[in-house]
Structure 1
Amino acid sequence: MTGYIELSIWDIVLAALFLALNAVLSITLRLRLERQLLIAALRMIVQLLMIGLVLRAVFAAGSPWLTLALACAMVGFAGYEILARQQSRLAGLWGYTLGAGAMTAAGSIVTLVALTSQIQPEPWWSPQYALPIFGMILGNTMTGVSLGLDTLHATLAAERRAIEAQLLLGRTSLEAMLPMIRRALRSGFTPIINAMAATGVVSLPGMMTGQILSGVDPQEAVKYQLLIMFLIGGATGLGVLGAVIGSAQRLTDSRHRLRLDRLADAGR
């Protein structure tokens, strides 16, 4: 099979009826989720239509600067999402820059390696390849980083007395905080581990499904999906590790004191 099946607007409307059914069920069962469903659906429609237009223009221009600008915009929004998903966060600029920085560094390194040594488009920064790959890696790394930081901050606050007791007994801040750091790292790694465990048996990932629907041989689609999953897993691990360790260091000082005063309430 070659080519792809073009969808009409009525095909999309028909699919949307299933979501409308969920809204009706919410009203019937008094779940009070219909408003959230409507807002989320409208937001998704607007965002996808806008990004479709933007990507068309960027692909047509073929400019490395436009590609870089769009990648920076993606990083900016992802960094905000990391901040917004934390119940408590580092105060000041640290709250944004630490999570966003760890995510950006990990995602950029992995994406650059993939583009220059494995996929090798011409040119290597071709937006048709660079932006979708960077987006997939960034999105998954964002989830891991936000979960890792949220778990670390919540755990440190809950175990404050136990940590300070160990510090009084002469342990270093790293020794006292190590169980909480490990818990945060496990939390950050969990989504990608679950995704890899279920891929292929429980679900066919979006990229692989899209390639198969567009006529790509399934075996070739599998190879691309494996590449992407390994890249996502590597970037997520690096991002979570950098963010959690960085935040743990920020929440202590040179005198091995726990500095939870450097946390700010996320306002939830």
Structure 2
Amino acid sequence: MSDTDDMQMVLTYGDVALASSLILIVLLVSWQLRLHLTKILLTAAIRTVVQLSFIGLILAWIFAREQWYEVLLILTIMTLIAGSAAKNRVKRSYKGLFTDTFIAVSTSAVFVTAIAILIILRVQPWYTPQFIIPILGLILGNSLTAISLTSNQLIESFHEQRWRIEMMLSLSARPFEAVHEPIRAAIINGMTPTLNSMLVVGIVSLPGMMTGQILAGADPTQAVRYQIVTMFLICVSSTLGCTINALLIYRRFFNKKHQFILP
């Protein structure tokens, strides 16, 4: 047995229970400072355990079978949930918002995941669940955050800057010219978390994927390479998602006569 094998650690249910008990510290802080977070903290903790335990059982079953249609079903469900989550984080809703967020999330995530699986990692077969499911999940999680931030700021800007936009249109500005600045600012806002994490990765923080691989006994150099690949995938997916989403929202705020409207 190698030294790496000796260092691998298997977590027991007792270890998980011990980690879960640390939530008591958070609850104590919430109670002392009257943050009124007790209910949501307990709900979040319970959902974390239940949801991850459930998906663990599902993934174990899918990994053992490796059927393409089952993997495709899981990927579809993950994408639908991501689109719904991105929509639910937007404060000002409108008819068609879910369609816009779903298109932005799915298009960017599926495109980037396909590149990762088929070109970069060259996984055979493409539906190998241990690769495609975690990669798509990682990209979806980051993309939906970026897209929801873009949606929130852009919709708020359109409402707040309505008169400025209409004034520019009255001065013969084209629709995209009138809203270019809000779109630019919204995409930058959506991209900021991703860019910030890239600036400090490896210096201030060790990302979850890399940390998990190292704790599982993987070669640190391989863990670093995988993390570099995933960081670039996340960056590209977030950029595409934010851009597509901003353009779809922009389309909703103009009618066929190029008049600015509030949907």
Assess if the C-alpha contact under 8 Å between 1:88 and 1:153 holds in 2.
yes
- Once residues 49 and 174 of structure 1 are traced to their aligned partners in structure 2, the CA distance between those partners, rounded to angstroms, is 47
- Once residues 243 and 96 of structure 1 are traced to their aligned partners in structure 2, the CA distance between those partners, rounded to angstroms, is 11
- Once residues 75 and 161 of structure 1 are traced to their aligned partners in structure 2, the CA distance between those partners, rounded to angstroms, is 37
Within a 5 Å distance, the mapping from 1:73-112 to structure 2 comes to: 73-91=77-95, 94-112=96-114
Tell which deviates more after alignment, 14-23 or 226-235: 14-23
Residues 87-110 of structure 1 deviation map (CA, whole Å, 9 limit, x = unaligned):
11231xx21111111110111111
1:34 to 35, 38, 60: 38
SS of the residue 2:93 aligns to: strand
**What is the Cα-based RMSD across aligned positions, in Å?**
1.1
2:74 to 70, 74, 79: 70
Within a 5 Å distance, the mapping from 1:142-157 to structure 2 comes to: 142-157=144-159
- Once residues 44 and 16 of structure 1 are traced to their aligned partners in structure 2, the CA distance between those partners, rounded to angstroms, is 10
1:219 to 211, 221, 238: 221
Within a 5 Å distance, the mapping from 1:150-189 to structure 2 comes to: 150-189=152-191
Query: Displacement of 1:29 after TM fit?
Result: 2.5
1:244 to 243, 246, 252: 246
**Gaps spanning 5+ residues in structure 1: where?**
263-268
Tell which deviates more after alignment, 96-105 or 24-33: 24-33
- Once residues 119 and 35 of structure 2 are traced to their aligned partners in structure 1, the CA distance between those partners, rounded to angstroms, is 50
Q: Does 1:196 align with 2:230?
A: no
Assess if the C-alpha contact under 8 Å between 1:167 and 1:256 holds in 2.
no
**With structure 1 as the length reference, what TM-score do the two structures score?**
0.94
- Whichever residue aligns with residue 45 of structure 2, its letter is A
Query: Displacement of 1:51 after TM fit?
Result: 0.3
- Once residues 24 and 224 of structure 2 are traced to their aligned partners in structure 1, the CA distance between those partners, rounded to angstroms, is 34
Match of 1:228 in 2: 230
Match of 1:12 in 2: 16
Query: Displacement of 1:28 after TM fit?
Result: 2.4
- Whichever residue aligns with residue 208 of structure 1, its letter is M
Q: Which contiguous aligned blocks of 4+ residues in structure 1 show a shift greater than 4 angstroms?
A: none
SS of the residue 1:111 aligns to: helix
Residues 121-176 of structure 1 deviation map (CA, whole Å, 9 limit, x = unaligned):
22122011000000001111111111111110001101111111111111111111
Match of 1:61 in 2: 65
Identity %: 36
- Once residues 231 and 33 of structure 2 are traced to their aligned partners in structure 1, the CA distance between those partners, rounded to angstroms, is 39
Q: Does 1:43 align with 2:51?
A: no
- Whichever residue aligns with residue 211 of structure 2, its letter is T
Tell which deviates more after alignment, 127-136 or 23-32: 23-32
Give the paired residue count: 259
Query: Displacement of 1:78 after TM fit?
Result: 0.7
- Once residues 240 and 106 of structure 2 are traced to their aligned partners in structure 1, the CA distance between those partners, rounded to angstroms, is 10
Assess if the C-alpha contact under 8 Å between 2:92 and 2:155 holds in 1.
yes
- Whichever residue aligns with residue 14 of structure 2, its letter is W
Assess if the C-alpha contact under 8 Å between 1:208 and 1:221 holds in 2.
yes
1:141 to 140, 143, 167: 143
- Once residues 241 and 133 of structure 1 are traced to their aligned partners in structure 2, the CA distance between those partners, rounded to angstroms, is 21
- Whichever residue aligns with residue 113 of structure 1, its letter is I
Assess if the C-alpha contact under 8 Å between 1:71 and 1:131 holds in 2.
yes
Assess if the C-alpha contact under 8 Å between 2:145 and 2:190 holds in 1.
yes
- Whichever residue aligns with residue 167 of structure 1, its letter is L
Assess if the C-alpha contact under 8 Å between 2:66 and 2:127 holds in 1.
no
